[in-house]
Structure formats: C-alpha cells, structure tokens
Amino acid sequence: MNQEGRTAYLNARLLDPASGLDETGALLVEDGRIADFGAHLFRTGAPSVNEVIDCKGLCLAPGLIDIRVQLREPGEEHKETIETGTNAAAAGGVSSMVCLPNTTPPVDDVSVLEFIARRSRELKRSKIFSYGALTKGLAGEEITEIGLLREAGALAFTDGERALADAKIMKRALSYARTFDALIVQHPLEPSLSRGGVMNQGELATRLGLSGVPTVAETIQVERDLRLLESNGGGRLHFAHVTAPAALEAIRRAKAQGLDVTCDTAPHYFALNENAVGDYRSFAKVMPPLRSEADRQALVEAIADGTVDIIASDHSPHDQDSKRLPYEQAAFGVIGLQTLLPMTLELYHNGHVSLLEALSRLTDRPAARFGIPGGRLRRGAAADLVLFDPDKPWTISEEAMVSKSKNTAFGDRPVQGRVVRTVVDGRPLYVAPARR
Amino acid sequence: MSIAPGIAFPHRHLLGIDGLSPPEIIHILDLADSYVEQSRRVDKKSTLLKGLTVINLFFENSTRTRTSFEAAAKRLDADVINMAISTSSIKKGETLIDTAMTLNAMHPDALVVRHSDSGAVQLLAEKVAGAVINAGDGRHEHPTQALLDALTIRRRIGHLDNLTVAICGDIAHSRVARSNIHLLQIMGARVRVIAPPTLLPSAIDRMGVEVFTDMRAGLRDVDIVMMLRLQLERMQGSFVPSVREYFRFFGLDREKLACAKPDALIMHPGPMNRGVEIDSELADDIDRSLIRDQVEMGVAVRMAVLDVLTRPLREAGATEGGGE
C-alpha cells in the first residue's frame, strides 16, 4: 500500500475542462490516483479515509500544465534550479511542465535528457518533461537525433528561444519528424528582421530611441513555416508565444484548412502592452516584445475564439545582474510559473472566456497536444490536482515570488485567483498559509 | 521628476527635453544669455560653483561635448573630474549600477553622463546622489544640444515660435533630432524631418512632425535647416547605397538651399562630414551658417544648466554655512 493512502476532498467545485464538468461534489484519492469523483460521492456517509480536506466550495481542477518553462539547470543554477523552479511551480498550481532545451549543455543529447529526468524523479516535485533540441547545439544547422530523443522521453522539438531560420533545415526537420510523429515547436521570429530589436517597433520605440521588432518578423516566419508544413503533406507544428494579429490570422486559416498546427501565448502578451517598457523598464523586456494595445486586443480575441490553444508562462528566470542594466543590455524574459493561473483567470474575470475555457488552455489542451498524462479528471489517472480560489484578490510582488529569480513583469499588479493547494500523485506539494 | 513646483526649474536632473515646459526652457535660455556675456569677458570666471564637484562621466567617446561641459563647469569654478569609461571595462563585469555606487563615494554634486544606450543615463540618475545631466544617451535625447540650438536661433532671429525648422539626415539614429523635435515643438515652432525612408524611425509622424523624403520639397519656405551627421558605417550599403548618392539627394548644397527662405540659416551639431551631408563651402558661409555660434552657445547653455540644477544644493549649503 502506498503511504499516502486515501484522501477525500469534500465540498469542492469540481472542474474538468475536457468533459465540461462543473459541479459541486467530492473527489477521492487512493494511492496517488483519482479513485472516484462527482456529486454522488460520499453523499450517503462519512468516508473512511486517512485524511479529509474540506474544500469549502473552492475549485478543484486538474493540475496545471505549463508547456514553456526554463529551469536553467544544468548550466545557470544561479538563476534557477530544478528545485527552486519546482517550488515556484507548486506555488503556482503547476503539476507538470515542459522545459526548453536551451540549458548548458543543451538538451540535444539523450544524456542531458536523462539527467533532467533523474533530477525530477529524485526531487518528487512537480513533473518535469523536456523538449529536445531540434538542431545540434541549437545552432540551426544539423537536426538532432529526434528518434532517440523521442524514445528517451523528449515531448517535442525546438531550438528554444531561437527561431529555426534556415528554410531547408526546417523543411527537413518537418519531414524527418513525421517518422516519429514528433511535434516541432517554432520560436516564430524571422531573425534578420528581429536582430538588434529590443521592443515593439512603433512610436514608443522611436520616442525612447530603441530598436524595434516589427510584428511582420513574426508573421513572415509563421507564414513560411505553414507553407513548409503544407508542402510536407503532413507533420505537427506548434508556434510558441504568438503576438502578431496577422500571424494569428494565418494560423486561423491554416487550422481551417486542416493543417495540424497549434499555438500558444503567454500572459504578458495578453495582459500587458508595450507601454510596460515605457520607462525603460527592463523587467518587462521580453522576446517577442510586448506589442501595441491593438495587437494585445487581437490576441485576447484569438484566445477567446480558440485560435490560441494553449497559455504557457514562458518562465524565464534572470538574476538581478542580468536585468538591472540599461534596457538595451538587459536580458530578455520574465518569470511566470507562479502567476500563470491568476493572469489567465483575468481573461475569465474580464468576461473574455468562461472559467472552463480559461482552465482548458492550462490543462487538457496542452496535455493533448504534447502527449502529457494528466490535464483532466479521470478515474485511475494520477492525482495531479490544483485547489484554488478563483476570486481571492491579491497583489503580485517580487517578494511573493518563490522562484530563485524575481524578474516578474507583473509587480504590484492586483489580481484575482489564488492557489490553495497543489497536489502531485496525491501528495500535497504546496498548501497556502491559512487565512487570517 | 519635479521636486519643487513653483521655482523656476523644479527638476532634480536634466534627462531630456520631453516633459519640460516653455517657462522652464525660457528660464535656461535667459540665464544662458548672461553666461554668453560672461564668457566673452577677459576674466571669464565666476565663483558660483566654488567647492562643488562635477564629474564628467563618458561611456562613449566625445571630445567636443566633454570639453564644452568642462569649460562650463570651470568657468563657474567647480572642481571637474573627467572619467572616460570604455565599454570594454563594462564588459569585464562592472555594471552601471556598480559605477554609480563608486561615484557616490566621491560625493559629486553634478554628473554629466554620456552613454551609448538609450535610457542608461536615467537608470544611473536613479542610483546617484547628485544632479544628473544627460550629455547624450543612445538614440534617445541630448537635451543640452537642443537647448544650445534654441539659444543660437533665438539670439540670431529673436524668437522660436512660428519658425519652420527642417531637420535633415539620419533621424533614425539621432538623439539630437529627438531632443530638437521636442524642444522646438514645445516652443511653438513647426518641425519637418527630411531623410530617405531607411533613416526615418517608424511612426515618426506621430511625434507631430511633417515627414519628407524629397529634400527640395521639405526645404520649401523653411527658416532653419538643421543637418545631422551621418555615421560612415551607415553609408556603405546598409542604410543608403553610397556617399555620392546620399550627397546628391540629401546633402545640403546651395542649389537645394535655394528652396528654403532666402535668408534661411544652417545648423549642424558637429562634427561635420564635409561633402557628405553638407557642402564644405556652405558650412563656412558666415551669412548662412550658425555652426560656429552653436559651439559658443554650448558652453553658455551648459553653464546655465549647471547653475539651475545645483541651485537647491547651493542654497542649502548657504544655510549650513550661516549656522556655524
């Protein structure tokens, strides 16, 4: 028998985006798995369990899945480690995440993949899955051992924060990946157009005297890759952190046409616009850059209409020395594991999507696309759960971040929605401090 | 930014022209007029800043601007420390904020800072104790250049409002252009920019300027022609195809100048590329060119800026001395 035994979650608002379930009921965890759940459960009598958790009517949903995370281990442990990163994940309700291959060394070899998997198993924290590098050394020249990496557990293939620019290599990668039904993830920015840019191109960049990255850099890359996918006669393609209205429109059309393409975006792109860097605020410096207000609104629409399948944090920890620099020199990226849920719930609170639709982009949709077990409430499945209060107001602050790096773009932002408990394989990894 | 509304120049630092009001600009220009007179005397020195320390902190090479600030501070009797910090030593690991902490230990009363990154001077200003004067940050602002240009124009023509000023050349990479666009518009002048599209930053029209890519059309009826320096590395195919093509279409010569008002004046922030953006002989024409005046006004304007920014400090110092 597993030491966890039986735990009953009573009086919960059960949410399962995959099945559309939204009802008050109970959920029973047995040996780290979901034994049963529903309105009927424990109606007739007190459960004989080791532990009873009164959910007090709060939401109990599948643990969140974050498909775009950098944990910096191995190589940059001064910014984040698997341990500190999984602490942040647990505090954010994230039970599974997929890590980018841009570590040092990069995940272009089975041995690095195995190192990360072993560290993850040892720590028994939130589950860590990994991307494999799409090209050796992320250099964009030779494709990696996609088959071997896939066998060793790589969920998808990407060059991380670099676009695979060379059309011929991309064509080969899409073609070769079909053998293994492997998903390719592109960082869609045409490098010769985005090179040197540090913020959105436009009036504000001109006023600040900063080099801009035009949205067309993203659109061109997306359109080119969609053409390659089409000419490939098949294959699976996903675009990371899409921000440009025309790129979203191209993806919308490609989906209607039947291409196997998906995309994600990150909370900073739908919650902030370029004005966030207006005072040379390097903590809001990201790539692609925060866009104009009109672009942001188009992105919210694309999330609502389903063009954007997944919301990912794009968690990119950077220490103070990398961020507290003149804007142009500061590193790109923000942390996001801990703010993923409240920022996504903003879309629900603002009336753009339903609660289940918001959660779907953090649970069953990423699970299905990346082949991650979980993301739904299912009898017999691992008990990866998040209990949260969807309305609880709080203010994001650097001090509240448990990540090793504190580079949040949302400092001082009032939000609604707080994680109360994060459960992985039936074990509580995070329990919010009791309310006063 | 404002520390004491009601006084003539209520700002702790001079980081840019954007955000200044007409009376604040006029106050500096009026004061600068008096410093022009002082600088023309045999004894050019006064003791206004006696005992104060001014650090010239240049992260980017500049002989002209640094010398101008140095002359200004010395004429007011400040102690001047020149620090030229090459970007290579920054790459060795010391950050801008480290530098600020080091400087604070020297108790500077004013810091004159030039940096190749837009926004870097503002970042430094947040971390140091003294008043910070932006001597040029990246492509962002160069406020004392705009002030000296304004002083030059005002002394020659008598006013700034209702003038039409054309700024010509590499607008995209120019902090001088941005500061001048702000200042001239604040003071009621009309501003045009003239450049090939590759040297125009995106959405520049949103800054309230009229945009021209045909120099003759752009110069029609203007009072002032401000030429900008075009960096050599930008002339060899990356932004414009060649020097000779650039000069043909965007270099200022007598023939193109004829499109402007008959008495139109020429300015250039220096250093000039003779024969690239401006015809050499035209640059030296004392009837049309204000280029030499600009250099003289530079020192006076910088004296005025040092004066207004250290005023709260000097007043506090006077009280301190009186109490002893």
Confidence of residue B322 (pLDDT cuts 50, 70, 90): very low
CA geometry: angle B309, B133, B60, nearest 5 deg: 160
Q: Does the pLDDT of residue B308 top 50, yes or no? A: yes
CB proximity B238 to A under 8 Å: no
Sign of CA dihedral A121, A123, A124, A127: negative
Instruction: Give the closest-approach CA distance of A290 to chain B in angstroms.
Output: 16
Q: Are strands A236-239 and A183-186 parallel, antiparallel or unpaired?
A: parallel
pLDDT at B318 over 90: no
- Answer yes or no: B254 catalytic: no
What single-letter amino acid sits at A234? G
pLDDT at B5 over 60: no
Task: From chain B, pick out residues whose CB is under 8 angstroms from the CB of A202.
Answer: 202-203
From B18, B123, B139, residue closest to A280, measured CB to CB: B123
Annotation marks residue B114 as catalytic: yes
Q: In what order do the strands lie in the sheet with B79-84?
A: B79-84, B53-58, B110-115, B131-137
Half-sphere exposure at residue B61, Cβ-oriented, CA atoms within 13 angstroms: 2
The string of pLDDT tens digits covering residues B86-139 is 765 555 567 888 888 888 888 999 999 999 999 999 999 999 989 999 999 999
**Sign of dihedral through CA atoms A378, A379, A383, A387?**
positive
B171-208 pLDDT tens trace: 999 999 999 999 999 999 999 999 999 999 999 999 99
CB A375 within 8 A of CB A366: yes
Phi/psi-derived region of residue B136, left when phi > 0, alpha when psi is between -120 and 50, beta in every other case: left
Which candidate from B118, B122, B203 shows the least CB-CB separation from A210? B118
Mean pLDDT taken over chain B: 92
Q: Do A328 and B206 touch (CB under 8 A)?
A: no
**Which residue, among B1, B15, B117, B180, would best test binding to A if mutated, counting the most A CBs under 10 Å from its CB?**
B117
Residue B202 near chain A (CB below 8 Å): yes
Written as six digits, the tokens of B88 are 């290579």
Segments of chain A scoring below 70 in pLDDT: 1-4, 46, 435-436
**CA end-to-end span of chain B:** 33
Report which residue type is found at A174: L
Beta carbons of B118 and A280 less than 8 Å apart: yes
Q: pTM of the full predicted structure?
A: 0.93
**In terms of Cα–Cα distance, which of A313, A103, A291, A305 is closest to A199?**
A291
DSSP line for A88-125: HHHHTTEEEEEE-S-SSS-S-SHHHHHHHHHHHHHHTS
Say if the Cβ atoms of A328 and B118 lie within 8 Å: yes
Which of B316, B283, B306 is CA-nearest to residue B38?
Answer: B306
Which pLDDT score is estimated for B85?
A: 83
Pull the structure tokens for residue B50. Answer: 């006696």
Q: Per the CB < 8 Å rule, is A203 touching B123?
A: no
For A297-357, what is the HEC assignment?
A: HHHHHHHHCCCCCEECCCECCCCHHHHCCCCCCCCCCECCCCCHHHHHHHHHHCCCCCHHH
Radius of gyration of chain A (CA): 21
Size of interface A-B (CB pairs under 8 A): 66
B206 to chain A nearest CA, in Å? 6
CA–CA gap between residue A358 and residue A350 (Å, rounded) = 11
Q: Which residues pair with A237 in a beta bridge?
A: A184, A261
Question: Which two structure tokens, joined as six digits, stand for A202?
Answer: 């436009």
State whether the Cα torsion A103-A108-A111-A117 is positive or negative: positive
Q: Dihedrals φ, ψ of A128, to 5°?
A: -110, 120
Within B201-287, where are the H helices?
Answer: 215-219, 243-250, 254-257, 280-283
Tokens of B218: 């752009």
For an interface test with B, the pick among A193, A215, A327 (most B C-beta atoms closer than 10 Å) comes out as A327
Å between B169 CA and nearest CA of chain A: 16
Q: Which residues of B touch A279 (CB under 8 A)?
A: 122
Rounded distance between C-alpha atoms, residue A300 and residue A302, angstroms: 5
Nearest-Cα distance to chain B for A322, in Å, is 10
What ipTM score was computed for the predicted complex, to two decimals? 0.91
Query: Could you tell me how many residues make up chain A?
Result: 436
Is the Cβ pair A214, B202 closer than 8 Å?
yes
Contact A114, A409 (CB under 8 A): no
Give the type of residue at B84: A
- Domain positions in chain A: 63-370
Q: What pLDDT, in 10s, does the model give residues B229-275?
A: 987 777 666 899 888 999 999 999 999 999 999 999 999 998 899 98
Query: Considering CB atoms only, which of A214, A325, A327 is closest to B118?
Result: A327
Q: A208 vs B141: CB contact, 8 Å cut-off?
A: no
> Residue A71 has which token pair?
């944990």
Euclidean distance between CA atoms A283 and A291, whole angstroms? 15
CA neighbor of A340 nearest in space, from A59, A14, A130, A94: A94
> B118: which chain A residues are within 8 Å (Cβ-Cβ)?
208-210, 280, 326-328
Report which of B6, B18, B9, B5 is spatially closest to residue B180, judged by C-alpha positions: B18
Taking the Cβ of residue A329 and every Cβ of chain B, the question of whether any pair is shorter than 8 Å is answered with: yes
One-letter amino acid at A285 equals K
Residue B156: CB atoms within 10 Å: 12
Chosen for mutation from B60, B85, B139, B141 (greatest number of chain A CBs closer than 10 Å) is B139
CA distance A244 to A298: 8
Active site residues of A: 314
Partner residue facing B202 (CB), from A212, A328, A329: A212
Residues of A in contact with B178 (CB under 8 A): 207, 209
Chain B: give the shortest CA distance to residue A273, in Å.
17
Per DSSP, the three-state class of B206 is helix
- What would you measure as the largest C-alpha separation in chain A, in angstroms? 69
pLDDT of residue B18: 97
Query: What does chain B come to in residues?
Result: 324
Long-range own/partner contacts, residues B35-38 (CB < 8 A, 24 or more apart): B35/B72, B35/B75, B35/B299, B35/B300, B35/B301, B35/B303, B35/B304, B35/B307, B36/B151, B36/B155, B36/B296, B36/B297, B36/B300, B38/B75, B38/B303
Candidates A275, A213, A285; CA nearest to A247 is: A213
A264 neighbors A311 (Cβ within 8 angstroms): yes
Q: Give B 120-179 residues with CB within 8 A of chain A.
A: 120, 122-123, 137-141, 175, 178
Tell me, what amino acid is at A50? N
A352 is in an annotated binding site: no
How far apart are the CA of B203 and the nearest CA of chain A, in angstroms? 5
Q: Examine the pLDDT at B323 and tell me if it is beyond 60.
A: no
Could you please state the CATH topology (level 3) that the domain comprising A63-370 is classified under: TIM Barrel (3.20.20)
Please provide the DSSP assignment of B225-240 as one string. EEE----GGGTTTTSS
B40 labelled as ligand-binding? no
Residue B1 in contact with partner chain A when CB distance is under 8 A: no
The answer to whether the Cβ–Cβ distance between B119 and A208 falls below 8 Å is yes
Cross-chain residue pair B117–A201, CB shorter than 8 Å: no
Please tell me the predicted confidence (pLDDT) of residue B250.
96
- Residue B142 annotated as part of some ligand binding site: yes
Amino acid at A119: R
Q: Check residue A231 and give its pLDDT.
A: 96
Q: Is the CB of B211 inside 8 Å of chain A's CB atoms? A: no
Quote the strand ranges of A214-297, DSSP E: 236-239, 261-265
B55: distance to nearest CA of chain A, Å? 20
Nearest to A184 by CA among A231, A245, A213, A226: A226
Q: Which residue of chain A is at minimal alpha-carbon distance from B17?
A: A207
**How many angstroms separate the CA atoms of B241 and A155, rounded?**
48
pLDDT(B319) > 90:
no
Q: In chain B, which residues have their Cβ closer than 8 Å to the Cβ of A217?
A: none
When CB atoms are compared, the residue of A206, A210, A325 closest to B203 is: A206
Indicate if B319 belongs to the active site. no
B271 is in an annotated binding site: yes
Q: Does A292 touch chain B (CB under 8 A)?
A: no
Would the CB atoms of B138 and A201 count as touching at under 8 Å?
no
Mean local confidence (pLDDT), B221-229 = 97
d(CA A345, CA A362): 11
